[in-house]
A and B are shown apart, each in its own frame.
Chain A
Amino acid sequence: MANSDVWVVIPVFNEEQVIAGVVGDVQQVFPNVVCVDDGSRDRSAQRVAATGAHLVRHPVNMGQGAALQTGLSYALAREGGRYFVTFDADGQHRVEDALRMVELARQGGADAVLGSRFLDQPRKVPAAKRVVLRAVVALSPTARRLQLTDTHNGLRVLTRPVAEGLRITMNGMAHASEIVSQLAKARARVVEAPVTILYTEYSMSKGQSLINGVNILFDLSVRQRG
């Protein structure tokens, strides 16, 4: 089957309304999906169990970064996976973008392909989000060095060696910057690919607010260095 060497990792937290639909869309293209239920208080886990996706359940809520690392660890332990995609559960990503990024990685020119909403049509991004995300990029030395435009995009494609080298320790939202800095440290070839974010009312109510930007900056300032 096509794309059987691809694993899609979806961290899930209280997404019972949309998760089954998102998994269904993804599985049209990518058969291997692992959803990490991060201690949801709703029926997200049961919704996932009704689909064809692998389900990993955190016993308690530990944060999106922790869920991503769990999903990657699970997927890496399976045989045959060569590409690992991170994908948000709220339906803001398009499967065709993920497919395009996997094809890009298959061509061998990159070890990691990161989605960016700013390469194409940045005007579609709401103003407040644009300010926060631009500020995070501006304050991140690695993002500047790798010439990234969007460090907090949940859509990424990692090749196996890169995914194996990742150790996400920031359990909260700062994991996105942490992933970028680890990619930079590992001297991975990182490229960005334009993606379209579907800003539905549902995903807007869950995304990164201005307040969250403060939390991200705090987490990053106190992360362990070295």
Chain B
Amino acid sequence: MPMWIQLLLLAVIAIVLVMFVRRWYGVRMQAGKRIAFFAFLAANAWAVLRPDDVTWLANRMGVGRGADLVLYLLVAGFALATLNTYLRFRELDRRFTELSRTLAIREAELVNRERGLLQAPHEHPAVLPGSRLEQS
């Protein structure tokens, strides 16, 4: 009999890998995560109310004790959550970079105009206040 727990854990690792190298979020992904979260809550409630069921499930999957099954699933869940956070941070980083770049270039155009390196566009006054670069 195959060890179902092994298949399950390997499947989670595969999902993590795929998510890692693919840009894989959006409405469908968002909904999937929310459903998974509620399923997780429901499973928790079930396990609290009927711990013997967890042991029964563990035995069916080739794991000795219910506590071990919970631990394995926790590890898998932690990996997914970590990855999710990583992807979120990377997206935030991308937006932050865009924002900083826009500000930096706008500021630079003012500063370099004051330094006489850029022509002032006609619709703006030649010198705009509040952008003087501190000279050493």
Q: Give Cα A221 to B20, complex, Å.
A: 9
Assuming the contacts A62-B97, A69-B101, A73-B105, asked whether A55 and B133 have C-beta atoms less than 8 A apart, the reply is yes
State whether B105 touches A77 (Cβ < 8 A): yes
Q: Give Cα A78 to B97, complex, Å.
A: 21
Q: Give Cα A46 to B100, complex, Å.
A: 20
Most buried by A among B100, B104, B105: B104
State whether A50 touches B107 (Cβ < 8 A): no
B93 — which chain A residues lie within 8 A by C-beta?
171
A-B contact count (CB 8 A): 66
Interface status of B122 (Cβ within 8 A of chain A)? no
Assuming the contacts A46-B134, A169-B94, asked whether A59 and B100 have C-beta atoms less than 8 A apart, the reply is yes
Interface status of B54 (Cβ within 8 A of chain A)? no
Closest to B86 in A: A222
Find residues 82-136 in chain B having any chain A CB closer than 8 Å to their own CB: 93-94, 97, 100-101, 103-105, 107-109, 111-112, 115, 117-118, 133-136
Interface status of B29 (Cβ within 8 A of chain A)? no
A46 — which chain B residues lie within 8 A by C-beta?
134-136
State whether B117 touches A49 (Cβ < 8 A): no
State whether B133 touches A49 (Cβ < 8 A): yes
Interface status of B34 (Cβ within 8 A of chain A)? no
Interface status of A190 (Cβ within 8 A of chain B)? no
B97 — which chain A residues lie within 8 A by C-beta?
62, 66, 171
Assuming the contacts A60-B100, A62-B100, A171-B93, asked whether A74 and B108 have C-beta atoms less than 8 A apart, the reply is yes
Assuming the contacts A49-B115, A49-B133, asked whether A57 and B104 have C-beta atoms less than 8 A apart, the reply is yes
Partner of A225, one of B22, B101, B103, B134: B22
Residues of A in contact with B (beta carbons under 8 Å apart): 36, 43, 45-47, 49-50, 52, 54-60, 62, 66, 69-70, 73-74, 77-78, 169, 171, 221-222, 224-226
Residues of B in contact with A (beta carbons under 8 Å apart): 20-23, 93-94, 97, 100-101, 103-105, 107-109, 111-112, 115, 117-118, 133-136
Closest 6 CB pairs of A and B: A46-B136, A56-B108, A224-B23, A70-B101, A54-B112, A74-B105
Could you list 17 examples of A-B contacts with CB < 8 Å?
A: A46-B134, A46-B136, A50-B135, A54-B108, A55-B115, A56-B104, A62-B97, A62-B100, A66-B101, A70-B101, A73-B101, A74-B108, A74-B109, A78-B118, A169-B94, A224-B22, A225-B21
